[in-house]
Amino acid sequence: MDSAAVTVQQRQQFLEAIERLTKSRVLNGSESLCKLLRYLADHSIQNPGVPVKEYQIATEVLGRSADFDPHSDSAIRVQAGRLRVKLAEYYSTEGEGDPILVELPRGSYTLSFRPRAVKSQGHANAGDLIRAGRNQGSVWTWAGSVLALSVLLAAGVAALVARWGESSRKSTPSLPPTDSPKLRLFWKGFMSSESDPWVVFSNAAFVGRPETGMRYRGASEAPGTFVLDHYTGVGEVLAVHELDRVFHHFNREIRVKRGSLLSLDDAKNNNLIFVGSPAENLSLRDIPVSQQFVFQRLATGPHRGELAVMNLHSRQGEPPYFLGSPPNVPMSEDYAVVALKHGMNPAEWVLILAGTTTIGTQAAAEYVCHEDSLEGLLSRLEIRAPAEELKPFEVVLRVKVVRGVPVESEIVALRKDEAQ
Which phi-psi region, left, alpha or beta, contains residue 265 (left: φ > 0; alpha: ψ -120 to 50)?
alpha
Domain span at 54: 8-118
Find all residues with CB under 8 Å of 90, minimum gap 6, and list them.
21, 24, 26, 27
The domain tally of the chain equals: 3
Q: Are residues 246 and 191 in the same domain?
A: yes
> Is 248 within the bounds of a domain?
yes
pLDDT digits (tens, 9 = 90+) for 243-283: 999 998 888 889 998 887 777 777 778 899 999 887 766 56
- Using only C-alpha atoms, the chain has a radius of gyration, in whole angstroms, of 22
Q: Are residues 138 and 195 in the same domain?
A: no
pLDDT at res. 205: 74
- How buried is 100 (Cβ within 10 angstroms: 0-12 exposed, 13-18 middle, 19+ buried)? buried
Q: Are residues 241 and 285 in the same domain?
A: yes
* 53-59: long-range pairs with CB below 8 Å, 24+: 53/109, 54/109, 57/109
Backbone angles phi, psi at 295, to 5 degrees: -90, 130
Q: Are residues 71 and 104 in the same domain?
A: yes
Q: Are residues 292 and 351 in the same domain?
A: yes
pLDDT at res. 143: 40
d(CA 1, CA 44): 9
> Is 17 within the bounds of a domain?
yes
- Integer CA distances (angstroms), 320 to 110, 315, 350, 380, in order: 54, 9, 25, 21
pLDDT at res. 270: 87
Which residues face 42 on adjacent strands? none
- How buried is 14 (Cβ within 10 angstroms: 0-12 exposed, 13-18 middle, 19+ buried)? buried
Most confident of 3-7, 74-78, 263-267, 398-402: 398-402
> Is 277 within the bounds of a domain?
yes
pLDDT at res. 282: 59
Q: Determine the average pLDDT of the residues in 5-31.
A: 85
- Integer CA distances (angstroms), 105 to 40, 80, 88, 238, in order: 12, 10, 11, 20
Q: Are residues 348 and 239 in the same domain?
A: yes
C-beta neighbour count of 252 within 10 angstroms: 19
Q: Which residue has the higher pLDDT, 357 or 277?
A: 357
pLDDT at res. 219: 64
Mean pLDDT of the chain: 78
Q: Are residues 338 and 351 in the same domain?
A: yes
Q: Are residues 70 and 105 in the same domain?
A: yes
Angle at 89 between CA 42 and CA 376, to 5 degrees: 110
> Is 61 within the bounds of a domain?
yes
> Is 3 within the bounds of a domain?
no
- Integer CA distances (angstroms), 286 to 70, 283, 353, in order: 44, 6, 16
Whether the predicted pLDDT of 227 surpasses 90: no
Q: Are residues 77 and 213 in the same domain?
A: no
> Is 330 within the bounds of a domain?
yes
- pLDDT bin (cut points 50, 70, 90) of residue 230 is confident
pLDDT digits (tens, 9 = 90+) for 42-93: 888 888 878 888 888 988 888 888 888 877 777 888 888 889 888 988 988 8
- pLDDT bin (cut points 50, 70, 90) of residue 149 is very low
Find all residues with CB under 8 Å of 187, minimum gap 6, and list them.
246, 247, 250
Q: Are residues 99 and 248 in the same domain?
A: no
Query: Comparing 156-160, 248-252, 327-331, 358-362, which segment has the lowest mean pLDDT?
Result: 156-160
Q: Are residues 113 and 129 in the same domain?
A: no
Last residue of a domain, one of 100, 118, 136: 118
> Is 390 within the bounds of a domain?
yes
Whether the predicted pLDDT of 206 surpasses 90: no
- How buried is 227 (Cβ within 10 angstroms: 0-12 exposed, 13-18 middle, 19+ buried)? middle
Q: Which residue has the higher pLDDT, 39 or 131?
A: 39
- How buried is 56 (Cβ within 10 angstroms: 0-12 exposed, 13-18 middle, 19+ buried)? middle
Query: Comparing 44-53, 80-89, 326-335, 392-401, which segment has the lowest mean pLDDT?
Result: 44-53
d(CA 343, CA 186): 16
Q: Are residues 315 and 406 in the same domain?
A: yes
Structural contact between residues 208 and 129, judged by C-beta atoms closer than 8 angstroms:
no
Of 161, 37, 58, 181, the closest CA to residue 111 belongs to 37
